[in-house]
Amino acid sequence: MSTVLLVEDEPHIRRFVRLALEGDGCEVYEAGGVREALRVASAHPPDMLVLDLGLPDGDGMELIRELRTWSDAPILILSARSMEADKVKVLDAGADDYLTKPFGIAELLARTRALLRRRAGRKQPSEPVYCFADIQVDRSRRIVTRAGEAVHLTPIEYRLLCHFIAHPGRVLTHRQLLREVWGPGQGEQGHYLRVYVGRLRHKLEIDPTRPAHTLTETGIGYRFEP
């Protein structure tokens, strides 16, 4: 059974989300503020967190930064803030995904399951061959095929693809992708990223203008969906 730490100060939202998560087979711990959340998380390290950003004794951002010094449990943000800049800030701080309030409970459960699956996958020794749609990525031999045909990728395109498939379902910000794929100091070169994602789409997507796997998160970054 997966354990989820639910951090939310509004009692009716907390109850509603807890019941839904329990109905989905999760064990739920609760906290109503930053300090309580840190206490509960260290007493019962959760498999993931569902975190409201506006808390009475502090900002959820502080909690993310503090937690990320010792835990890599996925964090799904519930936020009343819908500004792109706010979303980028929490994702850059180490959150994995976000939902803007008001949200649908089916969407919350789907995102939660995706993050828990990713975490469960990470506990296994990672397989060198990764498959999605008709694409096969053999990371031990650096060979990518589509429907059995070899696909030629440049080293940057290949690194970008490997970074995407290492983080399925996760929203990756422009800054994170530039840092991981191009290296530190490339944080402002957003146009490189657009160009290379465009090339990957042409090589891997059935319809590059309506991608099914390399999705754009407008103003924020990209999300890889297997």
Chain contacts with Ca ion (rule: CB under 5 A): 9, 52, 54
**CB–CB of 52/26 below 8 Å?**
no
| Distance of closest approach, residue 39 Cβ to Ca ion, in angstroms | 18
Q: Look at strands 221-224 and 214-217 and give their pairing.
A: antiparallel
- Identity of the residue, 56 or 185, whose beta carbon is nearer to Ca ion in the bound complex: 56
- Identity of the residue, 52 or 157, whose beta carbon is nearer to Ca ion in the bound complex: 52
**CB–CB of 200/186 below 8 Å?**
no
| Distance of closest approach, residue 101 Cβ to Ca ion, in angstroms | 9
| Distance of closest approach, residue 84 Cβ to Ca ion, in angstroms | 20
| Distance of closest approach, residue 57 Cβ to Ca ion, in angstroms | 11
Cα-based torsion angle of the residue sequence 70, 46, 100, 132 in order, rounded to the nearest 10 degrees: 90
**CB–CB of 223/169 below 8 Å?**
yes
- Identity of the residue, 54 or 226, whose beta carbon is nearer to Ca ion in the bound complex: 54
Structure tokens at 79: 């936020």
- Identity of the residue, 6 or 144, whose beta carbon is nearer to Ca ion in the bound complex: 6
Beta carbons within 10 angstroms of residue 211's beta carbon: 19
